[in-house]
C-alpha cells in the first residue's frame, strides 16, 4: 500500500484534505498528514488533487475520508476514471475533473450517487462518453463539458443562455451512435429560422424567470425555502473579502444582481476572490442579505448602502436606497447627498439636493444650475456664506 502525504486546512469553512504534486502508482493508498487540532478524517468534507501524476486512481479513499461532499481533481495526469473510484462516496454533491486529459467516460460512473448537484469535466480530451451517464441524477443542476475534443456543451439551471439538460443528453446520444447522427442530421444542421426560434425560446424563458422572481418576492414561504438551499456553503463558489471578514457567495446570484460583478466574473473566470476595501463590513452584509432575501434590515445606513450599491451597480438596491435618502432629504444632509449624486451620476438625486441647497441655504439669490455639477465650487460659496453670517452675528 502506497503512503501519500496530504495537507489539511479549511476552504470556504469546509475542512479539506488536499494532495498536491504527488505521484500515485497504486489503487490502494494510505493517507498521512497532520490534522488540525480537534479534527479527524471523518470531518473532511472536501478532497482536492492538484498537479498530481495519477497512474491509477485510488479505490479505497472512503476508508480514510468517508464523508466527503466535494471531490476536485485539477491539472493532473489522469486518463482513466471509473465508478469504482467514487462509488462509496454516497454524500458526494460537487464533482470536478478538469484539465486532466480524460478521454472516455462510462455510463455507470455516477450510479447511485443521488446527491450529485454539480459535475464538471471541463478542458479534458473527452472523445467518447456513454450517453446514459447523466441519467437518474435527480438533483443535478450544473454540468460542464466545455473545452473537450468532441463535446462543448454546458448547463446551469440558473443561466437561461446555457444548454438545457435535454440538449446535452441528446448530444451525447447522437455522438455515441453514427446511426442516430444520420437520423438527426436534419436537426443538427438546423433550419435557417432556428436562430429566431432559439431567441424566442430564450425570451420566453426570461419572461418565465422574471414572473417567477416576482412571485417569490410576494411569497415569503418561497423565499425562506430558497434561502435554506442558498445558505448551504457547499454550493458557494466565490469569496468577497471586506477587511478581515470573508463572505462566501454564489457567483450566479451576485452576477444576476450586480453588473459590476457580472463583468468581473465574465472577463476573469479564473479569479476566485475579490477584496473590497472601501465598503463598510456592515453595509456589505446588508447588501449580501438583500441579494439572497430581497430585504434590507431596518437600521441600514442608506447613505453607505447607496454608495456601495452604485459602485457594484445593483439597480434595484440603488433605487431603494436613493428613494429612502430623498424621502429624508433636508438642509443638513443636502450637500453630502449632492456630492454622492455627482460621484455616481445620479441625476434625480443631484437635482433634488441642489434644489434644497438653493431654497434653504441660498433663498435670497439665484444660483447657477451648473453649480450642481461642481460641488467643490458650491462648497466654497456655502463656507463663505457661513463665515459672513458669523461675522455679522459678532458685530
Domain boundaries, the chain: 2-201, 230-393
Judge whether 24 and 2 are in contact, CB under 8 Å. Answer: yes
pLDDT tens for each residue of 123-175: 999 989 998 999 999 999 999 999 888 888 989 887 777 888 988 998 888 88
Q: Which residue has the cell 479549511?
A: 10
The sign of the dihedral angle between the CA atoms of 245, 251, 252, 257 is: positive
Q: Let me know if 273 is exposed, middle or buried by CB neighbors in 10 A (0-12, 13-18, 19+).
A: exposed
Give residue-wise pLDDT tens across range 307-344.
999 999 999 899 998 888 888 888 888 899 899 889 88
Question: Considering the chain, what is the average pLDDT of its residues?
Answer: 84
Say yes or no to pLDDT of 31 above 90: yes
Mean per-residue pLDDT, 295-317? 89
- What is the CB neighbour count within 10 angstroms for residue 110? 23
Strand partners for 11 = 14
Residue with cell 462543448: 152
pLDDT of residue 216: 60
Q: Over pLDDT 90: what percentage of the chain? A: 41
pLDDT of residue 382: 85
Query: Are 361 and 389 spatial neighbours (Cβ–Cβ below 8 Å)?
Result: no
Contact by Cβ (8 Å): 31, 40: no
Residue 278 contacts by C-beta under 8 Å, 6 or more apart in sequence? 311
- Residue 149 has phi, psi (to 5 degrees) of -60, -55
What pLDDT does 118 receive?
94
Work out the number of other CB atoms within 10 angstroms of the CB of residue 86. 22
* DSSP-H helix ranges across 90-176: 165-176
What CATH number does domain 230-393 carry, 3.40.50.2300, 3.30.710.10, 3.40.630.30, 3.90.420.10?
A: 3.30.710.10
For the chain, what percentages of helix, strand and coil (3-state, to nearest 5) are there? 45, 15, 35
Q: What one-character DSSP code corresponds to residue 357?
A: I
Of 328, 331, 329, 342, which is closest to residue 377 (Cα–Cα)? 342
Q: Is the pTM above the cut of 0.85?
A: no
Residues 122, 124, 127, 132: is their CA dihedral positive or negative? negative
For 2-201, CATH gives: 3.80.10
Tell me the three-class secondary structure of 331-352, residue by residue: HHHHHHHHHHHHHCCCHHHHHH
- DSSP 8-state symbol, 16: E
Q: Which residues on adjacent β-strands are paired with residue 94?
A: 70, 118
The larger pLDDT score, comparing residue 304 to residue 252, is at 304
Which residue, 303, 305, 209, is CA-closest to 256?
A: 209
In degrees, to the nearest 5, what angle opens at C-alpha 176 toward C-alphas 175 and 177? 95
Distances (CA, A) of 250 to 8, 232, 272, 300: 24, 10, 11, 23
Amino acid at each position: 500500500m502506497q503512503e501519500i502525504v496530504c495537507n489539511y486546512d479549511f476552504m470556504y469553512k469546509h475542512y479539506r484534505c488536499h494532495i498536491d504534486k504527488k505521484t500515485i502508482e497504486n489503487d490502494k493508498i494510505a493517507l498521512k498528514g497532520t490534522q488540525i487540532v480537534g479534527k479527524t478524517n471523518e470531518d473532511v468534507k472536501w478532497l482536492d488533487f492538484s498537479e498530481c501524476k495519477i497512474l491509477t486512481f485510488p479505490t479505497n479513499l472512503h476508508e480514510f475520508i468517508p464523508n466527503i461532499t466535494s471531490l476536485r481533481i485539477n491539472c493532473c495526469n489522469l486518463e482513466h476514471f471509473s465508478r469504482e473510484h467514487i462509488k462509496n462516496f454516497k454524500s458526494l454533491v460537487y464533482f470536478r475533473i478538469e484539465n486532466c486529459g480524460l478521454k472516455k467516460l462510462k455510463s455507470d460512473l455516477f450510479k447511485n450517487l443521488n446527491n450529485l448537484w454539480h459535475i464538471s469535466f471541463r478542458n479534458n480530451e473527452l472523445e467518447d462518453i456513454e450517453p446514459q451517464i447523466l441519467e437518474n441524477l435527480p438533483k443535478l443542476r450544473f454540468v460542464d463539458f466545455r473545452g473537450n475534443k468532441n463535446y462543448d456543451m454546458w448547463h446551469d439551471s440558473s443561466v437561461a443562455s446555457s444548454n438545457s439538460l435535454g440538449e446535452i443528453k441528446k448530444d451525447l446520444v447522437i455522438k455515441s451512435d453514427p446511426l442516430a447522427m444520420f437520423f438527426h442530421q436534419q436537426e443538427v444542421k438546423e433550419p435557417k429560422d432556428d436562430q429566431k426560434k432559439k431567441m424566442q425560446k430564450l425570451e420566453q424563458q426570461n419572461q418565465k424567470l422574471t414572473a417567477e422572481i416576482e412571485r417569490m418576492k410576494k411569497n415569503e414561504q418561497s423565499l425562506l425555502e430558497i434561502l435554506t438551499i442558498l445558505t448551504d456553503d457547499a454550493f458557494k463558489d466565490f469569496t468577497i473579502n471586506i477587511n478581515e471578514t470573508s463572505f462566501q457567495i454564489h457567483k450566479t446570484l451576485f452576477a444576476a444582481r450586480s453588473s459590476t460583478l457580472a463583468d468581473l466574473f465574465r472577463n476573469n473566470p479564473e479569479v476566485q476572490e475579490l477584496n473590497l476595501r472601501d465598503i463598510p463590513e456592515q453595509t456589505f452584509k446588508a447588501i449580501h442579505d438583500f441579494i439572497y432575501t430581497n430585504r434590507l434590515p431596518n437600521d441600514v445606513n442608506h447613505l453607505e448602502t447607496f454608495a456601495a450599491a452604485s459602485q457594484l451597480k445593483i439597480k434595484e438596491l440603488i433605487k431603494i436606497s436613493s428613494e429612502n435618502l430623498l424621502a429624508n432629504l433636508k438642509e443638513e444632509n443636502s450637500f453630502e447627498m449632492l456630492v454622492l449624486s455627482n460621484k455616481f451620476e445620479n441625476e434625480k438625486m443631484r437635482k433634488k439636493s441642489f434644489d434644497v441647497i438653493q431654497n434653504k441655504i441660498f433663498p435670497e439669490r439665484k444660483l447657477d444650475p451648473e453649480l450642481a455639477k461642481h460641488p467643490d465650487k458650491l462648497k466654497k460659496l456655502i463656507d463663505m456664506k457661513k463665515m459672513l453670517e458669523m461675522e455679522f452675528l459678532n458685530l
